[in-house]
Chain A
Amino acid sequence: MIWDATFFESIPRFITPLLLAALGGALCHRAAVFNIALEGMMLIGAFFAVVGSYFTAHWLGGIGAALAAGLASGGLYAWFTVRRGGDDIVVSIGLNILAAGLTVFLLRAMFDQRGQFDDPAIATLPRIPLPGIDAIPVAGPLLSGQSVLFWLALALVPVLHWGLVRHRLGLRLRAAGDNAPALRTLGLSPERIRTLAILASGALCALGGAQLSISNVSLFTEGMSAGRGWIAVVIVMMCASRPLWILPAAVFFGLVDAMGVRAQAYGLPQQLTDALPYVLAIVVMAATLRRATLRVRI
């Protein structure tokens, strides 16, 4: 049966990385930073989550290492774009290539592994059981026993929405994206606010990566992000960087992922189900962007 508990249980696991990365990308986009290095930042997060978790034998170590690595990659991005005036797209390309090379390099240098590293010592994120809901047919597997990151990602949606409207940082973030010179005439620094947004996106993407490597599974494989960072970019664009719209979009692509995996069990070639999200991404973007509601700043 396709619609069994395992299927529902898997949906949030696919949603979480997309949601976290898209929220991070949205913060940048709102500040007029076209961050398309989400893929690389996720990959770095996934790798260092495994590193931290393996060496500390605790999931918090994994999260901590992922966060630190994510902030570092955000710092690198911010340094080369905001500080040195580099082009967003070029820096993104550089960071993506660097992330792909660095993770494979370190995989071999640190663990002497090619392709994949798994070890019983890698601690996974705790799952949060929801007594009382467990037993309900669909909602039970969907909501009970999910990782902390799933709930964090969900909570961030209203928090970021509120913050963009009602918090002074949110106001200034939008202002930096709208008209940076005008912000400067007010004596405020668009550079600072952009740096903050980029750092936040690095951290969020890294957490998304951690969900991939130490929650969904407990291992790291080369190129583990597998294009999810690009799907996140698509989500950011079609949702015009609005947190409240990003949630349903992430749910949609999470569902597609989950159903793809399911379909493989029924004999559909993996390559075709793997291609599905990208084809759908193009179709959905064409459908949503056509009305030109979004002015894409690139």
Chain B
Amino acid sequence: MAADDSRQAALCRLHRIDKHFGRTHALRGASLELRPGEVLALVGENGAGKTTLMNVLFGLIAPDAGGFELEGREGFFADAADAIAHGFGMVHQHFMLFDDMSVLENVVIGAEGPGRLGRIDLAARAAEVTEVMRRFGFHLPLETRVRDLPVAARQQIEIVKLLYREARVVILDEPTAVLTPQEADALFSMLRGLAGEGRAVVVITHKLSEVMTHADRVVVMRGGEVAGERRVAETSAAEIARLMVGRDIAPVEKKTHAGTGTRLALRGLLCAAREGERQVGPVDLDLRPGEILGIAGVAGSGQGPLVETLVGLRPAESGRIELDGQDITRANVAARRAAGLAYMAEDRMRSGLAIEASLAENAVAGREAQPPFARGPLRALGAVADFGRDLIARYDIRATGPTQRVAQLSGGNKQKIVVGRELSGTPRLIVAHNPCWGVDIGAIRFIQDQLLAAAEAGAAVIFVSSELDELFALSDRLAVLYDGQVQALLDRGDLETGRVGRAMAGAAA
């Protein structure tokens, strides 16, 4: 191993951790060492075991085998409280905050300090938190409810929470997924400062550019094992990618085949806002057949309302939506689908699938009342099952059969049902909202290829994603949303991280 030279300096060490979940071998002898003063990147695919390993570290999961050593002390933490007491802190990908409580309450809960009969001395705690924030250069309004703060500020609360508890080990799970590139840079320079004071910093990520720019050391996990460990100075992004996947991944082949004419036209489209929401729109866009329009933006910039309005789940306040020249602004979901709309919902588990229903029942949803799946008011169960089997074969879905409950399938296989259902019947307009989120790399490639093929066949595609990499790979044009507005509309040739990042932050591109 390349990093043996600094062994002495280890703060703590996970040793040959093994863990099974049922028949899944989640961790296979994985070892990990954390060193003070260092920023460590932990990378790997979905399901590579990163999260499980961190849960073992925090005492949330008891491993089947292996050891843990902290400053000469052997034995795993009993629970999260034990880990926190020993100076371990973690910022989860989905923030662990209490939305209806104030920033101050979020920071001090669980560490409320002394107080007679459990009373909390809020003034004293506020002074302490203010002091912590001053030391590390944070500016957060202590009395504001978390619900009313932007995402970047929420992440800062999480970090202040750790610093208030005097964490020596700071672990962040996918911390930049919700940030603009500029915000991400600011975060990493702050983390560098924390490491400089002697803390051990671990960043779990799948963005190799971040690893190469900001980390000192990188540990790559694959299939529950540590596939490799390198000093960043001595490796390359290509090598890390190879370690992650176990083979070379060819880049997506993108050809432009946008046709002529207008498939979709949005004219001053204003999405109806629900209570407490910012307004989204007005949006003006044109889409040609065969064109893929990427939509980028920090989470919560208006992607959700825009997509819902496009597919008919949310009314338009004003403006027009035209599909092939036909006004569908007031049409309901069923009418839009009949006109050729396909929709891959972001929330796969609730909106994309009925996970308690069978594979075949999910596969025919939306066309359940049409032949061949129904004869009059009655369902044609034979045709439904046939279609399920057909989908399993064509999309290589790992399932026991059309009657298997969807809940039992893996994330990638679930999403294949969605993609297969929506792409069967040659759609004219595809609205895909984060279709590759949370699936393994093989399925990601499959889904991307399917979208490209559909575009080649003439469908217009609206591709909303939180991953700049895949947006850059697939888009013919890219619209950047900021605060409910199209901040920039860039052609494929103009796609460049700095420009898109500035637009995501609300500046001119």
Contact = CB atoms under 8 A, between A and B. Distances in A.
Q: Do chains A and B touch in the complex (CB under 8 A)?
A: yes
Interface string B105-135: 1000110100101111010000000000000
Interface string A141-175: 00000000000000000000000001111011011
Interface string B290-309: 00000000000000000000
Interface string B71-110: 0000000011111110000101001111111000100011
A87 interface: no
A31 to B, nearest CB: 12
A187 B110 contact: yes
A168 B97 contact: no
A188 B96 CA distance: 13
A179 interface: yes
Contacts of B277: none
Contacts of B122: 166
B276 to A, nearest CB: 9
Interface in A119-151: none
Interface size class of A (residues with CB under 8 A): 10 to 19
Contacts of B101: 171, 174-175, 178
- Chain A interface, DSSP helix/strand/loop, else mixed: helix
Contact of A172 (B82, B109, B275): B109
Contacts, number: 65
A186 interface: yes
Contact of A188 (B85, B97, B110): B110
B81 A175 contact: no
A167 B115 CA distance: 9
B120 A168 contact: yes
A275 interface: no
Nearest to B147: A178
B120 A187 contact: no
Contacts of A167: 117-120
23 contacts: A166-B119, A166-B120, A168-B118, A171-B109, A171-B120, A175-B98, A178-B98, A178-B100, A178-B101, A179-B97, A179-B99, A181-B96, A182-B97, A182-B98, A185-B90, A186-B80, A186-B96, A186-B110, A187-B110, A188-B81, A188-B109, A188-B110, A292-B275
Interface of B: 79-85, 90, 92, 95-101, 105, 109-110, 112, 115, 117-120, 122, 275
Given A179-B96, A179-B98, A188-B81, 9 more contacts: A167-B120, A168-B119, A171-B105, A171-B112, A172-B110, A175-B109, A182-B97, A186-B81, A187-B81
Nearest 3 A-B pairs (CB), nearest first? A187-B81, A182-B96, A186-B110
